Amino acid sequence: MNTTSGGIDVLRVFCGPDRRYGNPLGVVRDGSRYPDRAARQALAGELGFSETVFVDDPERGAVDIYTPGLRLPFAGHPLVGVAWLLDVEVLEPEVGEVFTRDDGEFTWITVRAEWAPPRTLCEYALPAEVDALDVPEPGEWVYAWAWQDEAAGRIRARAFPGRGDGIDEDEATGAAALLLTRQLGRALHITQGRGSQILTAPGPDGTVEIGGRVCLEAVLPAPRAR
């Protein structure tokens, strides 16, 4: 990307081919406006997105990631989104250096599977079974999936964070896709949620590349830290 903003850029990450869907993401370009974790956590809770990213150094790619209820050392969809927005070659979340690239349609990050927090990966026999699932009670973080076309690496998935923070279902999740790619050991084309798309490819050195389309949804004024 692409634009500059003194406020909060709202992106949709892992959009479908028609640029619809994708998981909303808030990006605070000037992280210094929220200098401590309490202020950042409060804003992330107020915004209510699955994740909100605070950019501490745009040239170095230093970023800080929050859900509505907790801070994350790593998360996939925020890093893909902020890579597109900042147009940098390297991002620096808490876990370490994340290399990025852009091929025009898709933005990619290269990460390690051990960076992803634990997820329960539940395989179903048919995509229709995944579609029919109700949101489970809060508890474990569940990634439900089924093959749409195993030969082509196409998967239908839904994600249930189970945190009890108002995000009952994630529209698109990079970390869970990362873990599923490691488990299956092959490149995947995942359709998640209502129609989001995530692409993955395992690397030769234990890394996984995750890619998707990103769209700018809106720019919000940044409230003052309280």
CATH at residue 145: 3.10.310.10
Closest CA to 209 of 87, 107, 62: 107
pLDDT of residue 226: 63
Tell me the C-alpha distance between 9 and 49, whole Å. Answer: 12
pLDDT along the chain (226 residues), means of 10: 69 96 97 95 96 96 97 97 96 97 96 94 98 95 98 98 93 97 97 98 93 97 76
Q: Specify whether 83 is located in the same domain as 155.
A: no
Tell me the C-alpha distance between 12 and 206, whole Å. Answer: 28
Tell me the C-alpha distance between 134 and 82, whole Å. Answer: 31
pLDDT in tens, 149-180: 999 999 999 999 999 999 999 999 999 999 99
User: Torsion over CA of 83, 51, 93 and 190, rounded to 10 degrees?
Assistant: -60
Q: Specify whether 158 is located in the same domain as 75.
A: no
Q: How many domains does the chain have?
A: 2
Q: Which residues form the domain of 52?
A: 8-94+213-220
**DSSP secondary structure string, 146-172?**
EEEETTTTEEEEEEE---SSS--SBS-
Tell me the C-alpha distance between 196 and 177, whole Å. Answer: 12
Tell me the C-alpha distance between 112 and 118, whole Å. Answer: 13
Domain assignment present for 2? no
Q: Specify whether 88 is located in the same domain as 135.
A: no
Domain assignment present for 86? yes
Q: Specify whether 76 is located in the same domain as 156.
A: no
Q: Look up residue 180 and give its amino acid.
A: L
pTM here is 0.95
Domain assignment present for 109? no
Q: Specify whether 181 is located in the same domain as 128.
A: yes
Closest CA to 181 of 132, 115, 83, 92: 115
**DSSP secondary structure string, 32-59?**
GGS-SHHHHHHHHHHH--SEEEEEEETT
Q: Specify whether 157 is located in the same domain as 87.
A: no
pLDDT of residue 3: 47
State the residue for tokens 């070659």. Answer: 89
